[in-house]
């Protein structure tokens, strides 16, 4: 627990000040005895413990804006689509496997749904069979908790939350 090194007060905001040559963490009242120093000289950049008065220099600590992530993925019903397309072309699993230079056992695995083809393989298959096996999916950024990370909170914020 951080407390004022002069009077022992834990009342925020505590500031970092140079008092008669020594660098101390002091309360607002005691900081009047010395020269208030920027917090960065003493504290980790992540542990923002100052009150509102020192926040002006910390504008770069804004949270990153989360964007939805779009990615390619093999469709869920790949097994059915591969089998139907292959049978439509009247290819055996063996013939189809040869076409795409894969093992026959692999084709069997895909069509039973036990092994999903890799993205690259799925693209090769969809090109050969003229079916769609790869789709674009969008993943919304997951907000795991409504709480801001503690790095973005001031002691004042934390106290305000506890009061509720
Ligand atoms: Zn004090």
Q: Which of 44, 68, 84 is nearest to 136 (CA)?
A: 68
Q: In the 8-state DSSP scheme, what is residue 65? A: P
- Average pLDDT score over residue span 33-58: 57
Which burial class, exposed, middle or buried, applies to 122 when counting CB atoms under 10 A from its CB (0-12, 13-18, 19+)? buried
Q: How far is the CA of 18 from the centre of ligand 1 (A)?
A: 13
Say yes or no to pLDDT of 120 above 80.
yes
Provide the pLDDT for residue 129: 95
Mean pLDDT over the full length of the chain:
81
Neighbours of ion ligand 1 (CB under 5 A): 4, 6-7, 9, 27, 30
Task: Look at 113 and 151; give whichever has higher pLDDT.
Answer: 113
- Average pLDDT score over residue span 63-67: 68
Q: What length does the chain have? A: 164
Which burial class, exposed, middle or buried, applies to 8 when counting CB atoms under 10 A from its CB (0-12, 13-18, 19+)? exposed
Q: How far is the CA of 3 from the centre of ligand 1 (A)?
A: 8
What the chain holds in terms of domains, given with CATH numbers, is 1-44 (no CATH), 69-139 (1.10.260.40)
């Amino acid at each position: 627990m951080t407390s004022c090194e002069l009077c022992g007060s834990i009342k925020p905001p505590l500031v970092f000040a140079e008092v008669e040559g020594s660098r101390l963490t002091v309360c607002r009242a005691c900081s009047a005895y010395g020269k208030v120093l920027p917090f960065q000289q003493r504290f980790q950049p992540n542990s923002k413990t100052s009150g509102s008065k020192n926040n002006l220099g910390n504008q770069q600590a804004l949270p990153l804006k989360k964007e939805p992530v779009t990615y390619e993925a093999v469709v869920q019903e790949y097994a059915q689509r591969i089998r139907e397309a292959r049978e439509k072309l009247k290819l055996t699993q063996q013939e189809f496997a040869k076409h795409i230079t894969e093992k026959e056992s692999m084709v069997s695995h895909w069509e039973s749904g036990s092994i999903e083809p890799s993205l690259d393989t799925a693209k090769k298959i969809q090109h050969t069979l003229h079916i769609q096996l790869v789709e674009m999916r969008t993943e919304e950024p997951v907000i795991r908790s409504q709480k801001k990370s503690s790095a973005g909170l001031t002691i004042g914020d934390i106290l305000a939350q506890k009061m509720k």
